[in-house]
Amino acid sequence: MRGIADSELRSIVAVIVMAASCMTLGCSSNAAPPDLTAITASVVISQRWSRAELSHFAVSFHSDDLIECGVKADLWKLAEVTERGYTWTTYQLTPKGSKILFAIDLKGSGKGHEITFRGPYRLEITNIAPGSDPDTRRVDFRWEIDWDKAPPDLKTCLPKFELSGYEVATFKLSGLDWKFVSYSKPDDASAPPGATPGAVQLP
């Protein structure tokens, strides 16, 4: 009987200790969710890019030589387009160009060309701030074409210093995980705040 009593006493003590630990440190079921870090945000965004999701970023720039260079490299060609009874000529991506770029809007004047890329990119998180709701975060980041991994024809015709931009990603907490929600344009892309910097080069 004494052995049983001792066993019950030890069990009661163990329960009391566990309860005290929960009160002091917090039980796992009520653990505070981790805050979003630059590394986590970078991994989530790069995972999307690796699946060719939300990976089309555009730049606009001036160039007098871009059109001719792209035609010679077989990236795009002049084509006749007919729609709703109207016919006009415009530059369209070739099958080769479509594997490198997502879309083009080329200007005969050489001013205001718009190129939309498929990647590959480098990513730098420049700021993480609270969102409109307590469980959301605004992630400012800078992207640029990964020049070391870019196709040779892209590097031949497009200026390296023009191939970058800023975006804002919204993240939302789901359980204990941060999920990507959407992109939006930054309010001031030229000078994003740097409260939580963290540069990450994608593999």
In the prediction, which pLDDT does 185 show?
72
Q: Would you state the pLDDT for residue 201? A: 36
Q: What share of the chain has pLDDT > 90, as a percent?
A: 42
pLDDT level of residue 37 (50, 70, 90 thresholds): very high
Tokens describing residue 148: 């070391």
Tokens encoding 58: 């555009």
On the question of pLDDT at 194 being above 60, the answer is: no
* Helices assigned H by DSSP within 26-115: 38-50, 66-72, 95-100
89 bridge partner residues: 80
Of 129, 133, 144, 123, nearest to 194 by C-alpha is: 129
The per-residue pLDDT for range 113-151, each reduced to its tens digit, is 999 999 899 999 999 999 888 899 999 999 999 999 999
Mean pLDDT of 180-194: 62
Banded model confidence at residue 187, pLDDT cuts 50, 70, 90: low
- Report pLDDT for 192: 43
Q: How confident is the model at residue 94 (pLDDT cuts 50, 70, 90)?
A: very high
Q: Which residues, in sequence order, are CB contacts of 195 under 8 Å at separation 6+?
A: 127, 128, 129
Q: Tokens 């023009």 appear where? A: 162
Burial 38-60 (b: 16+ CB within 10 A, else e): bebbbebbbeebeeeeebebebe
pLDDT of residue 75: 95
pLDDT in the model for residue 29: 53
